[in-house]
Structure 1
Amino acid sequence: METTPDPVAVSDGAASLPTARRATRLIFLVSGIAMSTWAPMVPYVKVHLGLNDAQLGAALLAFGGGSMLSMPFVGWLAHRWGNRAVIVSAGLLMCLALPALAQVSSVTMLVGTLLYFGVMLGAVDVAMNAYAVEVEHRSGDRLMSGFHGLFSVGGLSGAALLSGLLALGLALPGAAITIAIALALTVLWLRNGLRGDTSSYRVDIGQKSRLGMPPARAWLLGLMCFVSFMAEGSMLDWSALFLRDVRGMPPASAGFGYACFSVAMAAGRFSGDRLIARHGPVWTVRVGAGVAVAGFLLVACVPLTMATLLGFVLIGLGASNIVPVMFSAAGHLPGTPPAVSIATATTLGYVGLLSGPASIGFVAHASSLSVAFVAMAGLLALVGLSARMVR
């Protein structure tokens, strides 16, 4: 009896579909760990360099700015050389940033290191999402929320692991080096699983696509990513400071606020593929935005530590599937390479990551972090009102 070969397996040099799925999950996990390891470092760096909220907010511009600078070029590089080459090379270089961030001795060094970290993280982000779209296309199932769920697990693991190592008495540089080595070894191990982009999907789009201006829909999807990334960035850069400065938690424990956010986001994303298949992307975005709005208001308006942690959970649940819906839609736009359309959406998203934490810092300096979080709730409400656009 003749069988139909796996389209991924028969691509020139490509990994099998199960292997590609596993490698994709791992690189999302690695990226999440790398990014979230920075969150518990923020209070230490702020105190070590003697920065106020506005100064820290200005320095954080470099993180999102680095990602923004790299993403438009990464879309072209990934389409030209393949997602695997970008993921592996940028992934290894990304790991070098963590020990450097733990040992910054000046504002200039902090800005330069955050810029470098953002460039490498942005490169991995675009390439891994483009590869994920190809794997999703091959399988015929919704997988993007699940992949992003592993990113959220990484967000939990990185923040909790570094906080745990610090609580055990390990110095910040030693803890960062330990995590960086583990991540680099993982990237080297999974590189064969990413072997060979799924070539027939590349041919499908390549015959029609030209690497020019992305379509208008990619920009519209990117605007929704803009707000979602602002919300996620506010948790990454300000949740620990909010718990320490406003709710009075000790610095060694403040990173667990981001861990609560990441746990909830992971849970939402692991159930997201089923929710989207059952209720559709419009319902998913609309309800998710509403839950996230409630979470921000709870954090800002109820002066209790447990209420704040619950608010972080609601923000994670609500925001969990907005970005995967946008990336999946962008990656399937007809006549456009996935790496290019995803680069457009992620670039606008990282504009949000860039402007969000910095804007929160300026608003917090002028008023308070609570007021800044209320403003963030208002922007997410606009996403909910615009949810019909994802149809």
Structure 2
Amino acid sequence: MSLEDKELMQFKVGKKEQYAARMAFFIPGFAISTWAPMIPMIKERLHIEADILGLLLLCIGISAFIVIPIGGLLGKKFGCKKVMVTTGSLFAIVLVALSCLPNVWSYAICLILVGAIMGCTEVCMNINAVVVEKLSQKRMMSSMHGFWSVGCFCSAGLFNILAKMGLDVFFIAIIHCLIILAIVIFFGRYFLDYKSANSESAIAIPKGIVVLFGILACVSFLGEGAIMDWGGVFLAEVKDVELSLAGVGYAVFSVAMLIMRLIGDKVVQFLGEEKAVVLGSSLAGLGFLWIIIIDNFYLMLVGFILLGLGAANIVPVLYSLLQYQKDMPINVAVTAVTCMGYTGVILGPAILGFIAQGIGIISVFYLLMILFIVQVVMAKYVFNRLK
């Protein structure tokens, strides 16, 4: 028995720890979707142009990307529980600050903090999830990731209701803050206080099969980021869809992904992990091809549904599989895969933008289709390695 396995044996996982692991994903989803509706209000209040707003939003992504390795180090030193309780509480407080800061520079500083909180949270909540799933000996990862989306939907819906009631954004932020703090207080005690006993650095460079896990995660995150950032542009510029309808594709994609993740554990259990990843990647590739070749708007939405259904369980399954690899300790492997995956979310859409400028956005969607086909081949190789 390895040192890591001996350390895991000290934890007892039951229903409370399982629910808490899901709520760990709910919190950042809820927090980020509280910030999103504030953006147009802040833009208007500060009288800033789109380029300045873009730079402000970039502060979140860059900060998160930089801090992810540090999040793994903090988790190793202080334990996942302390980090998640701290970041969850900070998330709640910073939302109130975001609703009432006085100028652009204060927002830049605050959004850098938001990115740092997000980076630490991403690593530790996934480490906690992997350990909880391993000790539970049952599939849970897909529904955990699904709770991120549940948090997003709950937050957006509540924000909209409170705004229609006439509440100022400051008071809405306070209500959302109190909800997050209540969740942290109630569920935080059931987060696992996991620290790796392994002497290897938590910011070690990925090695062995973990590199392949990271590449697969990067492709999946790249696909998600591309639909979010470029799906509407593709519909408007290539398919001549009205601007008012351009965002429907991403909405349909998001709902399909949410539904599939909530039922994903049963789907993966039925299909098996290998078929879930291979079929998921194939469906996502087919979705991109469908969007490219179909011109009818309503039929095109089928492609976005295929993308959501296909991509939904790839990343959760990859995180689940990290418990079986022996090349790196769990906490280090999760940190490495999260960092590589975030490359697809943060840098990917920008790189795709340069490609679109050079050879056209339709070529970008063909490229994404090819990447998911390559992912099918890579996934088969990874599963053969694991066997």
Instruction: Tell me the equivalent position of 1:381.
Output: 373
> Cα gap change, 1:41/1:367 in structure 2, threshold over 3 Å: closer, same or farther?
farther
**Unpaired segments of 5 or more residues in structure 1?**
1-6
Q: What SS does the corresponding residue of 1:135 show, helix, strand or coil?
A: helix
Contact 2:281–2:376 (CA under 8 A) maintained in structure 1? yes
Amino acid at match of 2:244: M
CA distance in 2, matches of 1:121, 1:167: 29
Deviates more, 1:370-379 or 1:225-234: 370-379
Q: How does 1:63-78 map to 2 (within 5 A)?
A: 63-78=60-75
1:265 counterpart = 2:257: yes
- Corresponding residue to 1:249 among 224, 244, 249: 244
Q: How does 1:229-308 map to 2 (within 5 A)?
A: 229-237=221-229, 247-249=242-244, 258-298=250-290, 306-307=298-299
The alignment partner of 1:323 has SS state of: helix
1:16 to 1:139, Cα distance in 2 relative to 1, 3 A: closer
| Residue matched to 1:343 | 335
Give the counterpart of 2:208 among 191, 212, 216.
216
Judged with a 3 Å threshold, the aligned counterparts in structure 2 of structure 1 residues 348 and 380 are, in CA distance, closer, same or farther, namely same
Tell me the residue number matched to 1:92: 89
- Does residue 325 of structure 1 match 2:317? yes
> 1:363 offset after TM fit, Å?
5.6
What SS does the aligned partner of 2:328 have?
A: coil
Query: Does structure 1 retain, via aligned residues, the 8 Å contact 2:96–2:170?
Result: yes
Please, which moves more after superposition, 16-25 or 108-117? 108-117
Equivalent residue for 2:182?
A: 185
Secondary structure of 1:249's counterpart equals helix
Q: 1:227 to 1:20 in 2, by over 3 A?
A: same
**Mapped partners of 1:56, 1:314: distance in 2:** 32
Paired residue for 1:133, among 108, 130, 150? 130
- Among 352, 371, 374, the alignment partner of 2:344 is 352
TM-score w.r.t. the length of structure 1 is 0.78
* Segment drifting more, 231-240 vs 175-184: 231-240
Give the whole-Å Cα distance in 2 for the aligned partners of 1:239 and 1:104: 32
1:231–1:10 Cα change, 3 Å: closer
Q: Using the alignment, how far apart are the partners of 1:170 and 1:376 within structure 2? A: 42
C-alpha distance in 2, partners of 1:361/1:45? 26
Cα displacement (A) at 1:237: 5.0
Alignment correspondent of 1:4:
none
For structure 2, list consecutive stretches of 5 or more residues without a partner in the other structure. Answer: 1-5
CA positional deviation for 1:319: 0.9
Structure 2 Cα separation of the partners of residues 210 and 366 of structure 1:
41
Aligned position for 1:152: 149
1:83 aligned residue: 80
Please give the TM-score of this superposition, normalised by the length of structure 2: 0.79
Q: Which is worse superposed, 370-379 or 221-230?
A: 370-379
Alpha-carbon RMSD? 3.8
Percent identical: 32
Structure 2: distance between partners of 1:229 and 1:58: 21
- Worse-superposed segment, 156-165 or 314-323: 156-165
SS state of the match for residue 139, structure 2?
coil
Q: Secondary structure at the match of 2:189?
A: helix
Cα distance change, pair 374–85 in 1 and its aligned pair in 2 (3 A): same
> Quick one: structure 1 residues 346 and 16, their matched pair in 2 at CA, closer, same or farther if it must change by over 3 Å?
closer
Query: d(CA) in 2 for partners of 1:71 and 1:146?
Result: 23
Higher alpha-carbon deviation: 134-143 or 188-197: 188-197
Q: 1:148 to 1:373 in 2, by over 3 A?
A: same
Distance 1:87 1:182 in 2: 16
Q: Structure 1 residues 189, 241: CA separation in 2 closer, same or farther (over 3 Å shift)?
A: farther
Could you give the per-residue CA deviations for residues 44-91 of structure 1, whole angstroms, max 9, x where no partner exists?
667763216xx7665544322222211112212212221101111112
CA contact (8 A) 1:209 1:335 kept: no
Report the 3-state secondary structure (helix = DSSP H, G, I; strand = E; otherwise coil) of the residue aligned with 2:244: coil
- 1:373 to partner: Cα distance: 4.7
Q: CA deviation at 1:258?
A: 5.0
